[in-house]
Amino acid sequence: MKVCKFGGSSVADENQIRKVKEILDSDPERTIVVVSAPGKRNKADKKVTDMLYECVALASDGRACRPVFNEIRKRYLEIAKGLSIEAPELEKALAEVENNIDAGLGRDYAGSRGEYLNAVLISKYLGYEFIDAQECIIINDDGTVDPVTYEKLGERFKEGGRYCLPGFYGATKAGSVKTFSRGGSDISGAIAARAAGADLYENWTDVSGMLAADPRIVDSPRGVEVLTYKQVRELAEVGASVFHEEAIAPVIPLGIRINIRNTNRPGDEGTLIVPELDSSELIGVSAKGGFTKVSIRKMMLFKRRGVRHAFFTALHLFGVTPSFSLFGVDSIVILFSSSQASDRVVEDMCARLKKDFALDEVSYERGQAVLGIVGGRMNESTAFIDVATALKKERIAISFVNHGASDVTTLFGVKDDEKERAVQVIYSALFK
Ligand code: ASP
């Protein structure tokens, strides 16, 4: 059997939801459906989830959320009407959500209601049984999934019916609603696939799978037919955003394959994500900006025992968690997301490091980006030579290279304002 997750644009209005039904009806294996909240119908439109967060902001200012909530109400009622669903319980549910937001039930509750209301509607339209994620999906304080989830949900699926679940949320151990991070319905779909022991997890979205580069940066990049769990994670880490990077974890133990497909072009095969691949093919290039680089140097730095540990602990005290790090003979370089520390905090942190570690040098630079070349057997690949040559020719300075630490990525550091040009240059050098 197959678990199908439909993203926000696939369930944004009644026409899209009709396509969902056609897709499900065309394959009897598609028995479990996970849905997002209605997303954007066009570029200028708003996602229901964003509007719900606007409602929370109003409520926390002590104002009624009605002006924004009415827009939300209108969207659901339009969908119900368009699909000819008689849903008196929908109006009741809408009223209840509005009251609860006004009463201050907060972000997790409000954010989750976009999916909840949509799943109530869609399950009715499809004739699938509705399962509330709050009853079955348990999310730990750190955002990870409690394993008891798979038993609870598996128990429900055992009856062998057709089920529709809202994505994006579950409950804390104590039972109150808790959401995943944004885009988290991908995680819910993966959880359902694991609990059901699915043969395939189909993730339906508005693009025909993953591309070798961001189409906003590179003109018509080529598609990716197949890649591995690890490669998806590492692509996401450097900015590619088709699939939530935390949505791989639930399917790993069962090795369930994931197929990213396009609701608007159901004939396209999309991208297949598999556990392992014996291939050295290059998959894609991606970039993520907004990093700060801190470099420290001291003669015989590593003579001091436990210095690496002490260094990372010191960073932690300033709220800094590095995304990438490099060790030299007498030096350490780290990159962290700039939003973690203001200029003032970075200044204080550097002064403190200099003093505590008696450093010879410490410096920092804002506005850094990391580019990742993702492929197979990257630690043996010489693609980085072509990349370096191409970047040099275009006079794009490389601030670091990390090759060999991963078998699926080679990383390059460049300046934030050059990252898009760098992606274009690398794409031309490696994929054209
Ligand atoms: N509706 C949520 C969001 O906009 C979750 C999702 O669509 O996956 O982030």
The secondary structure of 283-295 as a DSSP string is EEEEEEEEEEEEE
How far apart CA 319 and CA 304 sit, in angstroms, is 24
How far apart CA 362 and CA 351 sit, in angstroms, is 8
Where do the domains of the chain lie?
2-275, 283-431
Pair type for strands 169-171 and 129-130: unpaired
What is the topology classification, in CATH, of domain 283-431? VC0802-like (3.30.2130)
- The total of other beta-carbon atoms located within 10 Å of residue 344's CB is 8
Q: Please provide the size of the chain in residues.
A: 432
Q: Report residue 237's pLDDT band, with 50, 70 and 90 as the boundaries.
A: confident
Range of weakest confidence among 38-52, 83-97, 108-122, 331-345: 83-97
For 264-320, where are the alpha helices, taking DSSP H only?
A: 307-317
pLDDT computed for residue 244 by the predictor: 86
How far apart CA 297 and CA 360 sit, in angstroms, is 6
Residue nearest to atom 2 of ligand 1 (CA): 183
Q: Over the stretch 339-378, which tens digit does the pLDDT of each residue have? A: 999 999 999 999 999 999 999 999 999 999 999 999 999 9
Q: Over the stretch 246-270, which tens digit does the pLDDT of each residue have? A: 899 999 999 999 999 999 999 999 9
Q: What is the rounded average pLDDT of the residues 389-400?
A: 96
Q: Report residue 72's pLDDT band, with 50, 70 and 90 as the boundaries.
A: very high
Residue nearest to atom 5 of ligand 1 (CA): 183
pLDDT computed for residue 239 by the predictor: 67
Give percent of the chain with pLDDT exceeding 70.
99
Q: What is the rounded average pLDDT of the residues 395-404?
A: 95
Q: Over the stretch 301-334, which tens digit does the pLDDT of each residue have? A: 999 899 999 999 999 999 999 999 999 999 999 9
Q: What is the rounded average pLDDT of the residues 84-103?
A: 93
Evaluate if residue 87 carries a pLDDT over 80: no
Question: Ligand 1 pocket, 184 CB below 6 A?
Answer: yes
Nearest residue to 236 (alpha-carbon basis) of 413, 374, 340, 334 = 374
Ligand 1 closest atom vs CA 188: 8
Ligand 1 closest atom vs CA 37: 1
pLDDT computed for residue 16 by the predictor: 98
Amino acid identity, residue 32?
I
For the chain, counts of helices (H) and of strands (E): 13, 16
CATH architecture observed for domain 2-275: 3-Layer(aba) Sandwich (3.40)
Residue nearest to atom 6 of ligand 1 (CA): 183
